[in-house]
Amino acid sequence: MKHPRPDRRQVMAGAAAIGGTALFGGSAYAKGSVTAAIYPGSWDEQYRSIVLPALKKAHDVDLALEPLFAVDQIAKAVAARGVAPFDSFVLDPGPRVTAIERGLLEPFDGKKLTNASKLAATGIDGWGAAVNSQIVGIAYNPKKLPKPKSWKDLFQEPYVSKLGLTGFQTTFGTVSLIEMAKAFGGSEANIEPIFAEIKKILSKVAAVTPPAALPGMFQQGQIDVTYTNTNNVSTLKARGVDIEFAMPEEGAITFVTTLHIAKGGENKDNAYKYIDTVISAAVQEALMKSPAGLLPTNKEVVLAGDQPIKSLDELSKLVSHDWTKINPQRAAWIERFNKEVTK
Amino acid sequence: MVASQARTPAAVATVAQAEDKVGWGLASPLGLAYLAFFAAPLLLLGSISLFEDNELTKLGFANWIKFLGDPFYVGAIWRTIVLGVLTVLAATVLAYPMALLFYEAAPWLRRLLLFIVVLPLLTSVVVRTFAWIVLLAREGVVNQTLLSIGLSPVPLLQTQHGLVLALMQIELPLMLLPLLAVMQGIDRSLVEASRALGASRWRTFFKVLLPLSVPGWVAGATLVFASATTAFISQSVIGGGRLVYLPSVIWQQAMVISNWPFAAVASIMLLVSVLTGIVALNAVGRFIDPAGR
Amino acid sequence: MTRRVTWMDASYFAVIGALTLIAFLVLVGPVIVVIVTSFTTSASLKFPPPSFSTRWYFDLFDPVKSRHIHSAAYNSLWVAAVATAAATLLAVPAAMAIARVRTKAARTVEATFLAPLILPTLSYGLATLMFFTLLGYRPSLWLLTIGHLIVISPFVFRTTVASFTQLDPVLLESSASLGASRFYTFRRVTLPLIVPGVAAGAFLAFVASLDNVPVSLFLSNARTDMLPIRMWGMIESTLDVRVAAISTVLIVSVVVLTLVMERLVGLTRRMGG
């Protein structure tokens, strides 16, 4: 009985092949194109209206955007097992670490970017380029509630009965819950306090929802306060929703979003052109001024609009996290959150 | 003429023969398609559930033991079945009155009724979910209406009864269509005889119409149960995070945590739960109407 | 005695009337909300709308602003059309093979062919993703079409079986006894009689494919964007009003199609099957 390990997968594939035919091979894409994963919603919308034409104009490359949250990108790429479903990832720090560990990313060569020098020194590394800084804090309805001051406020009236809770599936959800845990005496390593607090308020909160349903709930007045990033707040505000951003006194959270080249992607060169276009000053400025209000990483861009900070230097004063410590615990947290909030 | 007459007995024989033997040749194209793209993926799903790790290298029952040994996941199976049963009950309570109205109605009204019944099937599930947020939210249409007639608002969104209400909208047509088809065929003279013998309308319904319409109800209830237990988007948005059903476990394990084997276990449990529910529904049908199929 | 019966009947009508009214509200309420919302002036999905306009319809039909919606709609229509055509070609012969057979084997075959209707499509969606992934195929419209084909075939199969069962065997026998070949009998006698049933099934299959979420959720990507998945993405974080407009357009076109089908083949009579 000899079962060489790697062969099992081939056996599985072989079993699957019984049903397969050569009818539908990998589809051939047009020469000048690139498929990039993008966060759903405002990112998708703004990249479609700003980056897509810019890339076409500068390099004559067609951009196809696939809206997926970071974890979904990882899941799809892992699921694809070597056949990259898109050419470029857009990732937050946590999923980025996962993607590197799982070998989903192509090593990144910053020299291929003409705009590389315009980013901060930390903006480019061996795996990708930073394209946006995010700030996470509290979002509330100014017509219904006074401005919240601290993470702890969310757990008391008048906020708690209007609160929309969301779990650890998203980066903003994860870091917010960690900061709340800290506010109640916990740490990155020990988030026990937040589960204890959630348990206490669970019967009072207005909603526990997947992140995707938060905007709809907010708009229709089911919830009036939640935690999210400035981009989401700007987008909804631009659409006439009564929503404002508040920095908690414990400190708002910041992290950078990075673009990466997928290992096994079909259009690597075009993916570099795509990333170079995104970090160019003109595109970064347009993205910042768009309804999404995406904070730039290109130092040449002068901050404008109603950003909660006046200059990119202030970002260093905000809270950031060590994702190598968070990642190993995250799957367990997701499961734990499910179990704790279930009646 | 003579030639064709000579062929006649044989031709009649082939037609008659087709009555008691399955035409395997005709059935095989669809059969093969099912084998390749239905049976094979499901078998694969079963095989994947027997791996212990996500890279599919180590065989074992670890994920089955984890799933079945955890009260949370077993609870999710139970909750999913209960959701299906509640939706079937709710749909039944609303479907029968409509079916009775249909039974009594003039042809033009029948058409109108059918049209209204089919309408929800034409509304995209995605948008319907949004519509239910609008209707069920804290300050939504239903609660505003309750307030305006002097009642106090009730929480609907993110509750099980709210979810059952929302699911009912899409499931009701699935129950009504087969029910109406059967009702249409019920002999009117039976109802008239019952009334002529002095039975009230209630009695006529319970003793005549209900038993005769059971086959239609079983067919409809089966579809409702199957559809309600797997309605992922409605469950997660309208039911919310506090009510975890099997489909959201499947989604999370497959797409968020990307643990394929565990997702496969959850999928198979969903399959088993739905099939069990359907077998039970058919048993109920036979109990009410032993003469039925 | 008579008075008591009257009271009983009154309560019967009251209960039936009240429940029917509730059923109407439940069925029609959300559809009205969607249609009304699509005519809002507000920049996001909001009900009730502050005031009314058709601006979102202009946006929806704008070839530049809504390019990605148009391509998703095109993909969805393409998949629905091809899958429906394939389902019809496969399911009609299959239905013919068993419809008039009374054996146990025939019932088993029938149950098998109807199975996708009652099995959880989410489980099936995941299974197809694993299946095609392990085979090494990139997501494509063909894979989506295959996934949809399996899910929608039972609709055509079911209505076609019903048509065959209602077929009068005397007609077939007399055609045969008059010397017609089997093929001729099929083409000139059977086919015209089953066409309405097949068409009703194909219509239901088409609509089911167009609105399919569970299979598309797992199998679609940027290049094979499907309309319901795109709409879900649009609602997700931007509450895009165009979603309500798309839905209204879909409702209206399907309603028109339904009315046409009703005229031609008596659709509603056949859906119960």
Instruction: Express each pLDDT in A142-199 by its tens digit.
Output: 999 999 999 999 999 899 999 999 988 888 899 999 999 999 999 888 899 999 999 9
Residue A75 clears pLDDT 80, i.e. is over it? no
Residues B147-183 have pLDDT tens digits of: 899 888 888 888 898 999 999 888 888 888 888 888 8
- Note the pLDDT of residue C46: 77
CA distance A74 to chain C (A): 14
What's the token pair of residue B94? 């609303």
- Note the pLDDT of residue C265: 67
Nearest partner of A172 among A134, A145, A117, judged by Cα: A134
Q: Do A208 and B242 touch (CB under 8 A)?
A: yes
Reported as a pLDDT band with limits 50, 70 and 90, residue B293 is very low
Residue in chain A lying closest to B258 (CA): A75
Of C27, C94, C235, the CB nearest to B119: C27
Partners of residue A288 on adjacent β-strands: none
Range in A246-255, B271-280, C63-72 the model is least confident about: C63-72
Output the furthest CA–CA distance in chain C (Å, rounded): 77
State the chains in contact with A (3 or more Cβ–Cβ pairs under 8 Å): B, C
CA distance C233 to chain A (A): 6
- Residues in chain C with CB shorter than 8 Å from the CB of B117 are 27
As a whole number, the mean pLDDT across chain A is 83
Of A72, A79, A207, the CB nearest to B240: A207
- Note the pLDDT of residue A275: 94
Q: How many CB pairs under 8 A join B and C?
A: 293
What sections of A61-191 are H helices per DSSP?
70-80, 93-101, 171-183
Give C253's contacts (C-beta < 8 A, 6+ positions apart): none
Of A13, A79, A86, the CB nearest to C135: A13
| Own/partner pairs, A237-241, CB within 8 angstroms, 24+ separation | A237/A291, A238/A291, A238/C43, A239/A291, A239/C42, A239/C43, A239/C44, A239/C238, A239/C239, A240/C42, A240/C43, A240/C44, A240/C46, A241/A215, A241/C44, A241/C239
Reported as a pLDDT band with limits 50, 70 and 90, residue C118 is confident
Reported as a pLDDT band with limits 50, 70 and 90, residue C222 is low
Torsion angle of the four alpha carbons B94, B100, B101, B106, in this order, in degrees rounded to the nearest 10:
150
Alpha-carbon span A306 to A303, nearest angstrom = 9
Residue in chain A lying closest to C137 (CA): A26
What's the token pair of residue A216? 């709809």
Q: DSSP for chain C?
A: -HHHHHHHHHHHHHHHHHHHHHHHHHHHHHHHHHHHHHTB-SSS--SS-SSB-SHHHHHHH-TTTTHHHHHHHHHHHHHHHHHHHHHHHHHHHHHHHHTT--SHHHHHHHHHHHHHHHS-HHHHHHHHHHHHHHHTPPP-HHHHHHHHHHHHHHHHHHHHHHHHHHS-HHHHHHHHHTT--HHHHIIIIIHHHHHHHHHHHHHHHHHHHHT--HHHHHH--GGG--HHHHHHHHHHHH--THHHHHHHHHHHHHHHHHHHHHHHH-HHHHS--
CA distance C106 to chain B (A): 6
Residue B13 clears pLDDT 70, i.e. is over it? no
Range in A73-82, A160-169, A236-245, C226-235 the model is least confident about: A73-82
C36 Cβ under 8 Å from any chain B Cβ: no
Q: Do B140 and A202 touch (CB under 8 A)?
A: no
Where b means 16+ CB within 10 Å and e means fewer, C85-118 reads ebbbebbbbbbbbbbbbeeeebeebbebbbbbbb
Q: Do B252 and A9 touch (CB under 8 A)?
A: no
ipTM greater than 0.85, yes or no?
Answer: no
Alpha-carbon span B200 to B189, nearest angstrom = 16
Q: Do B55 and A9 touch (CB under 8 A)?
A: yes
Of A13, A42, A85, the CB nearest to C221: A85
Q: Do C271 and B44 touch (CB under 8 A)?
A: no
Residue in chain C lying closest to A232 (CA): C237
Question: Do residues A44 and A15 lie in contact, with contact meaning Cβ atoms separated by under 8 Å?
Answer: no
The pTM is what?
0.82
Residue B34 clears pLDDT 90, i.e. is over it? yes
Of C42, C137, C223, the CB nearest to A24: C137
Residue C156 clears pLDDT 70, i.e. is over it? yes
If you compute the radius of gyration of chain C from its CA atoms, what whole number of angstroms results? 23
Backbone phi, psi, residue C92, to 5°: -65, -50
Greatest mean pLDDT among A83-92, B41-50, B226-235, B247-256: B41-50
